[in-house]
A and B are shown apart, each in its own frame.
Chain A
């Protein structure tokens, strides 16, 4: 069955059982064709982050999820996702708090190693991140809220932005949209259940 035929079947709403004969990737291809594109036009210009802030966010995200045998946060454009979230999802005070966190990180670099964050070597940057990560862990261990801590927010944005990106979902986690079957007790695999969650 050609994709054209599949689309015809789907759009008439008849004889849907014909889909039973389709392999999952054919179903997926058909669905891609018939579903609306919700994707908006990507904007080239950043809305919130200055060049300096963008460079810091890019560096932080890559330290959290670096390139390994698969691409890292930079390749997944996590910085652009952070910019969208700061511009359109966070409240004004949350955004300002996040941006102040970047300033504070530079100050931390100056106080600890005598230079702002981006001027430090990777080893020194990692020392600063470990310090912030330990602060978040201490809050969690004390059962205090962690959500407002700069590094907690940056880490969440990085993980969320990375694993829901095309790179993160398809290359790192090797997930598919239409598994086509349910195996209740499969050998453990990369990316867990195999489905975007």
Chain B
């Protein structure tokens, strides 16, 4: 059934869909935002202040339901008893992998997408990152550099609110910061020790996070309750639901349609343009078409690529906009779960009060000033210090009154540094359409082929060594390095599969996230990334989206689209 026509269609309502909705409507475009999942009412869906005893399993989660319906999603730390409803049902939303290449695809389908449960860490990328492919020959050169994105970082940060500490480091440019959250005294102890040994080479700083430390743009400062992934009724952290969608709504030019599964982008061969999208109503299964002058795919890296791979007009038999053959290829994620931990001596009479939803950060120091013999690119560390609470009791001998008294006070200070490593773009890591499997709505699903390369493995070994040497230099005791299995996908920084590039023969999108082949088609989420850097990527998606929207509006106004 044919529906009304819009100026713009935005597919997805998460981090990037929210930004596209805001930017396009504020520029005057009547915009239809299509979200595959249900609508969310913060007043009834957020659950961050529910006490543990109000949950049947006290927050640990409904183990049998998770085992039955969310076997993939439950591997994410945030998929707990209160927040499991923000993660997809794996039976309704299947995908496949080869048996020997597990990929954990953590997904959220609802208005707000994964911006409800994201970890909120927000870091700019630098020319060390945008120039990396050109420098070492992996992947294709980014068509942009830091200077292209810098003003857009400024814009999105001023709106979203990023708290953090300015450091003036070239490899990790400062944001437009709100006041930083403090390191706790355990972290200060370790920071001092690392500084004594490594000076400006290895710097411990507070995490840069999209959480307000002061009231900002009509949103309240954080009240340090802790479980952000369950929602935030005071809108203190940035999500599309808390910030960009209300701004788009305020223009009066947004039509937000939940339960709208986009099956394909419709192509008009008479003018080589996207005509609109075909939608399956998730509730009624009704087939519908919506038309617009410009289409923005903001459905998450792999969902946007899935839509393109499922769109196969005669001119593009392997997927819309795939004249390069690179659509679906060069999938990346950050490699993690390698680092070191230990016990901080002293400070027995001190503890943090309140739950700071943030940790410490150590910016990349490998292959910044020198060249490492074993790997290219680099990694950063995230972590934090704290004192364990009662739950350490399960692994302590004893019981009875003295045992109870001992658990009243916290255990010894502990600290952990966990690495987040850059993943190289490689053609052999790719997604395709599974020849048989379909989701609950009959849309063909992805088959994902992804594994780490020797470069990531070498980096992981180095993370454990450098984390341990920093902790030891700081006087931390019982230091134990670790490298645990880190299946691709679980870092939830999946990127690539519709990369930006200068050459239409080797890339899917140009420097404005615009399809080389279909000029009124834009992809501004993680799919567009040409390399992965080692910083959390969402802030860069925001800046890319805002920049692409401004370009699209300008092109529309000049009748170029």
Contact = CB atoms under 8 A, between A and B. Distances in A.
Interface of A: 10-11, 13-17, 19-20, 24, 27-28, 30-32, 34-40, 63-66, 68, 72, 81, 84-85, 88-89, 126, 129, 133-134, 136-137, 140, 152, 155-156, 159-161, 163-166, 169, 172-173, 177-197
3 nearest A-B residue pairs (beta carbon): A185-B185, A182-B354, A31-B49
Contacts of A37: 54
Contacts of B349: 187-188
Interface stretch (B38-46, B424-432, B474-482, B550-558): B38-46
B215 A20 contact: yes
Interface string B352-396: 111110000000000000000000000000000011011101110
Interface of B: 42-60, 62-64, 82, 181-185, 187-188, 215, 218-226, 233-235, 246, 348-356, 386-387, 389-391, 393-395, 397-401, 403-405, 407-410
B390 A159 contact: yes
A140 B184 contact: no
Contacts of B405: 68
A173 B390 CA distance: 9
Contacts of B44: 34-36
Most buried by A among B58, B185, B350: B58
Given A88-B64, A184-B182, A188-B410, A195 B226 contact: yes
A100 to B, nearest CB: 21
Contacts of B223: 24, 27, 178-181
A156 B392 CA distance: 10
B182 A19 contact: no
Contact of A38 (B55, B220, B389): B55
Given A64-B400, A185-B350, A196-B52, A159 B224 contact: no
A88 B48 CA distance: 24
Contacts of A65: 399, 403-404
Contacts of A85: 57
Nearest to A137: B397
Most buried by A among B62, B223, B397, B407: B223
Contact of A188 (B45, B49, B350, B354): B350
A79 to B, nearest CB: 15
Contacts of A165: 52-53, 58
19 contacts: A14-B218, A19-B220, A27-B223, A27-B234, A34-B233, A84-B56, A85-B57, A126-B400, A129-B399, A160-B394, A164-B52, A165-B58, A166-B51, A185-B185, A188-B351, A193-B355, A196-B226, A197-B355, A197-B391
